[in-house]
Structure 1
Amino acid sequence: MHELSLSEPQDLWRIGLYDLVVISELDEPIDDAWERRALFRAPLHIVARQGHPMAQSGTLQPLRDCLWIVPSYGQRVLSNPLLSLEGSLPRQLMQAQSIYIALALLRTTDAVALMSSVVLEDPQTSSALVALPLTEALPSLRVSLVCKSMDALTPAAREFARGLIDAAQVPGILRTAPRPDS
């Protein structure tokens, strides 16, 4: 198993290095050549440390000058013209693929981050972080198993994939079960 950024897997699949990936992505239609199975969905939130001086701002606009920590899809989310940032990105934007780096920065600075509710439900982080009460609606995250084709997987990879898909159907094991359209 390897932790990869969103841009890496496609090149690695082309050369046959990986059978499948489990990836977090925005919960929206994706038109590419890969087969996807949604494992779970979770709402996105703007998250900060407990006691953050801007924790009660109510909208994104006052947070514009904060350091923002975002995943690879974060810039696309924040540039949505429906948000109070009005299509312009925050002044300080850091893309972080590692949850550990993001959490360390959140705990020790006045940074804010775009993260899923899964982080807030984790007992190790829930006491240190809060979701900011914003009026803007943010999209949801989808965690998906992605491969070229489920039928083309090796027997071991197919069993692993089936195990992940089965575990995703058990309430509380991973998260809420995916919608039937996935």
Structure 2
Amino acid sequence: MKIHQLRALVAVADTGSVRGAARMLNASPAAVTQSLQQIEGDLRLQLVARTPLGVTLTPDGLTLLAHARLIVGQIARAHQAVDTLRGETRGRLSIAVTAWVAMAFLPDAVLRFRQRMPEVQLEFFEGLLAIANPRLRDGSLDIYIGRQTPGEASAFACKPLFSSTRAVVARQGHPHAESRALEELLDLDWLVALDPETEGLAPYKMFAQHGLPTPRSIHFLHSLTVAVALLQKTDMVSIFPWPLVELCAPHESLCAIPVREQLDDSMVGVISRPGEPLSAAAECFVQCLTETIRRPASTYTPEMRRVMNSVDVLI
């Protein structure tokens, strides 16, 4: 297997077509096709299949793809490290950021980073476990600013940043807006972020640990925008970390339901692949984020003061 063949496989997987892969790699479609044919011939396996909707990977192709992403990503990071040694910092830094950290700290952190590494291209993803963890594993994400997998030891390295409690949220004027117990909310439709690491079981554990049955209706989501839209216009409820409540509730007509039960804490940190040093760009970004978090309290807006009062800073 050669690196250009693995790059072709990754590009086809990402674009869904040979032509799209060729554009991504700045190569001809014939060259991409040849690379795929060569690696299939060397391995004596069919890796791709053409369908009416484009090119898809076979099960064998998907197995190889996971390794190809890691190898291609590691080669790219090696080139970036060499560029840094030469005093030439460039390349791409891919980051997933959980919603409330993005709202509270990301703009200032990015401004600091752009001043120090203006040649580095930034790529951002929504910081949900279902998005971040697979990308960390396959090497397409450099760092994840977000929460660890709940309820079990994480498979990743983590530098803690914050700890906070969580709250049940609903629209203002919700029929259960003043409920004092989770038991009163069991018959509602719940919106929760899917946690693939525990096969979606995390939301159910919250009720079990208080001796309650599972709500009759739990729905999974992968977008804060979708969650807010549904909460605003329906009687669904969800679970937010308190900093997100402070940032969203006043502007999105939401409220925290004052249940007496203590919900699990949520720990947010800088999460990365274990046993692999961060690139110079990633180290710089983490430093810029840390400086932003540690900025003087006198610079905070009233909203940011409420956010900071809702967390324990761990750095």
Q: TM-score range by the shorter chain?
A: 0.7 to 0.9
- The code of the aligned residue for 1:116 comes to P
Which of these residues, 198, 218, 224, is aligned with residue 93 of structure 1?
218
TM-score, reference length from structure 2: 0.49
* Aligned residues between the structures: 176
Which of these residues, 126, 145, 166, is aligned with residue 250 of structure 2?
126
Alignment of 1:129-140 (within 5 A): 129-140=254-265
- The code of the aligned residue for 1:114 comes to I
- The code of the aligned residue for 1:125 comes to A
Conservation of the 8 A alpha-carbon contact between 1:26 and 1:139: no
Residues 83, 3 of structure 1: CA spacing in aligned structure 2 closer, same or farther, 3 A cutoff?
A: same
Q: Cα RMSD over matched residues? A: 2.7
Conservation of the 8 A alpha-carbon contact between 1:34 and 1:147: yes
Matched, 1:18 2:141: yes
Which of these residues, 143, 146, 165, is aligned with residue 43 of structure 1?
165
Q: How far apart, in 2, do the equivalents of 1:62 and 1:27 lie?
A: 25
Residues 153, 42 of structure 1: CA spacing in aligned structure 2 closer, same or farther, 3 A cutoff?
A: same
Alignment of 1:162-181 (within 5 A): 162-170=287-295, 171=297, 175=308, 176=311, 178-179=313-314
Q: How far apart, in 2, do the equivalents of 1:101 and 1:141 lie?
A: 21
Q: Report the secondary structure of 2:125's partner residue.
A: coil
- The code of the aligned residue for 2:170 comes to A
The Cα offsets for residues 114-134 of structure 1, whole Å up to 9 and x where unpaired, read as 111122212x53251111111
The Cα offsets for residues 2-29 of structure 1, whole Å up to 9 and x where unpaired, read as 225414444433432222111224777x
1:149 offset after TM fit, Å?
A: 5.2
Conservation of the 8 A alpha-carbon contact between 2:127 and 2:144: no
- The code of the aligned residue for 1:21 comes to Y
The Cα offsets for residues 85-120 of structure 1, whole Å up to 9 and x where unpaired, read as x2x321111112211111111100001111111222
Report which structure shows greater RCO (CA 8 Å, sep ≥6): 1
- The code of the aligned residue for 1:111 comes to M
Identity rate, percent: 26
TM-score, reference length from structure 1: 0.81
Matched, 1:76 2:202: yes
The structure richer in helix per residue is 2
Conservation of the 8 A alpha-carbon contact between 2:231 and 2:237: yes
The aligned counterpart of 2:34 is none
Conservation of the 8 A alpha-carbon contact between 2:163 and 2:266: yes
Q: How far apart, in 2, do the equivalents of 1:126 and 1:19 lie?
A: 33
- The code of the aligned residue for 2:205 comes to S
Q: How far apart, in 2, do the equivalents of 1:149 and 1:168 lie?
A: 24
The aligned counterpart of 2:126 is 3
Deviates more, 1:43-52 or 1:53-62: 53-62
Q: Which runs of 5+ in 2 are unaligned?
A: 1-123
The Cα offsets for residues 20-40 of structure 1, whole Å up to 9 and x where unpaired, read as 111224777x53442211222
Conservation of the 8 A alpha-carbon contact between 1:38 and 1:143: yes
Residues 8, 27 of structure 1: CA spacing in aligned structure 2 closer, same or farther, 3 A cutoff?
A: closer
